[in-house]
Amino acid sequence: MTEVRNWAGNHRYGATAIRRPATLDQVREVVASAAHVHALGSRHSFNDGADSAGVLISLENLAPDIVVDSRAATVSVSGGTTYGVLAEALNRQGFALHNLASLPHISVAGAIATATHGSGNRNGNLATAVRALQLVTSGGDLLTVSRADTPDFAGMVVGLGALGVVTRVTLDIQPAFEVRQDVFDNLPWARVLERFDEVSASAYSVSLFTDWRGDTVGQAWLKSRTDAGARFEGRPEFFGGTAATSDRHPLPGVSAENCTKQLGVPGPWSDRLAHFRMGFTPSSGDELQSEYLLPGEHAVAAIEVMRDLAGQISPLLQVSEIRTVAADDLWLSPNYGRAGIGLHLTWKPEAEAVQNLLPLIEARLAPFAARPHWGKLFHAEAATLAPLYEKLPDFRALAARLDPEWKFRNDFLDRTVFGV
């Protein structure tokens, strides 16, 4: 296979071939005839989670086939469709998703497979919107499962590609809404930590950007719905931070051109809930990422740990983001059974130094039962992760049932989920 790498370039896929079927029947044939196969999304994960010892199967050539059912308040879409394409189509028809990640470039099936999330105390991760899935299982058979009718559905959504190739996804939708985005600079840590719950509850979605050094949080991004009951009035000050007077990029000194509009200008949800715009490079483009999700009651103590580690973290860091995510019941979701915060790190592209630092960060966050983001870099393996996921034995049993020949298993799954 010619060299194919993930978006960040830090992982070179070891698979023997990439297949890009254009029809559902071709997807079924590829899966049925392969000894080892794994689904590949838009390649935005930072680890080997989407790799295979056999073939990779990408759904990018399948038509999005976006079908809105306004009575059921759902949209169904081909799994390889990006959130950017889906969001625009939905908005045009007067509908919205509850949230987006920081970037719209990722595929729907790839994002839900790793429990990708945005921010907001009341917003579950993107996988929580999944109402039904269509999967091609290891024999090439079609399996349709739904929240309403399938007993193990909660185990199937954040599936890490271990259960089959997700060819269609049905998501909850709601009427389209408008969002305004306001950014504030330099919030004193003391004020933020004293009233962290109030800070994170201040808007529909709140993100804090920091390098952990010094006495202030670099930026706070507030995304506020402008529909009734959720109005956010612009203000010059926010917990000691001052309102930005021009659009900001989370990374100091980087042009805000690739960011969604700020300065309190209302706009469609599809143009505001992500930080980065479709058609532009998200984030810095030359980076690695890690993230740890932990229960809300430990938010302040965990932030203090990260600030304490600033001397080790900051030399390798571009920026960190603190977000909140609501609790859910999806077995492998880092927010299974608990609402909490995500401590995200955008690293400089120094893979070895970052990998060497992760064990220290994970050890210091271990008392807070921190669970790593499945799509980013982390050090922990199955023995460490198993006690953090009470439904992991059930997930292993589900995978054994749906994939008895271990077709979808890969090194990542063996290392982090199955403990081989």
Ligand X SMILES: Cc1cc2nc3c(=O)[nH]c(=O)nc-3n(C[C@H](O)[C@H](O)[C@H](O)COP(=O)(O)OP(=O)(O)OC[C@H]3O[C@@H](n4cnc5c(N)ncnc54)[C@H](O)[C@@H]3O)c2cc1C
Residue 113 C-beta: closest distance to ligand X, Å = 3
Q: Which is nearer to ligand X, 110 or 241 (CB)?
A: 110
Rounded Cα gap, residues 24 and 278, in angstroms: 27
Q: Which is nearer to ligand X, 4 or 73 (CB)?
A: 4
Choice from 120, 124, 161, 264 touching ligand X (CB under 6 A): 161
> Counting contacts by CB under 6 A, is residue 205 touching ligand X?
no
Rounded Cα gap, residues 159 and 110, in angstroms: 10
> Counting contacts by CB under 6 A, is residue 44 touching ligand X?
yes
Rounded Cα gap, residues 315 and 356, in angstroms: 13
Rounded Cα gap, residues 97 and 81, in angstroms: 14
Please answer whether residues 90 and 111 qualify as being in contact, where contact means their C-beta atoms are separated by less than 8 angstroms: no
Q: Restricting to residues 117-136, which ones interact with ligand X according to CB under 6 A?
A: 117
> Counting contacts by CB under 6 A, is residue 107 touching ligand X?
yes
**Count of residues that bind ligand X according to CB under 6 A:** 34
> Counting contacts by CB under 6 A, is residue 102 touching ligand X?
yes
* Strand pairing report for 371-372 and 288-295: antiparallel
How would you classify residue 11: left for phi > 0, otherwise alpha for psi between -120 and 50, otherwise beta? Answer: beta
Sign of CA dihedral 6, 10, 15, 16: positive
Return the range that interacts with ligand X (CB under 6 A); candidates 96-104, 180-188, 234-242, 292-300: 96-104
Q: Residue 420: helix, strand or coil by DSSP?
A: coil
Q: State the amino acid at position 369 in one-letter form.
A: A
Q: Which is nearer to ligand X, 35 or 190 (CB)?
A: 35
Q: State the amino acid at position 232 in one-letter form.
A: F
> Counting contacts by CB under 6 A, is residue 103 touching ligand X?
yes
Residue 130 C-beta: closest distance to ligand X, Å = 12
> Counting contacts by CB under 6 A, is residue 40 touching ligand X?
yes
Please answer whether residues 159 and 47 qualify as being in contact, where contact means their C-beta atoms are separated by less than 8 angstroms: no
How would you classify residue 120: left for phi > 0, otherwise alpha for psi between -120 and 50, otherwise beta? Answer: left
> Counting contacts by CB under 6 A, is residue 354 touching ligand X?
no
Q: Which is nearer to ligand X, 175 or 404 (CB)?
A: 404
Please answer whether residues 306 and 102 qualify as being in contact, where contact means their C-beta atoms are separated by less than 8 angstroms: no
Rounded Cα gap, residues 271 and 378, in angstroms: 31
> Counting contacts by CB under 6 A, is residue 203 touching ligand X?
no
- To which residue do tokens 């880092």 refer? 334
Residue 173 C-beta: closest distance to ligand X, Å = 20
> Counting contacts by CB under 6 A, is residue 181 touching ligand X?
no
Choice from 39, 130, 332, 345 touching ligand X (CB under 6 A): 39
> Counting contacts by CB under 6 A, is residue 41 touching ligand X?
yes
Choice from 120, 218, 241, 375 touching ligand X (CB under 6 A): 375
> Counting contacts by CB under 6 A, is residue 282 touching ligand X?
yes
Q: Which residues contribute to the site for ligand X (CB under 6 A)?
A: 7, 38-45, 49-50, 59, 79, 101-103, 106-107, 109-111, 113-114, 116-117, 160-161, 165-166, 282-283, 289, 373, 375
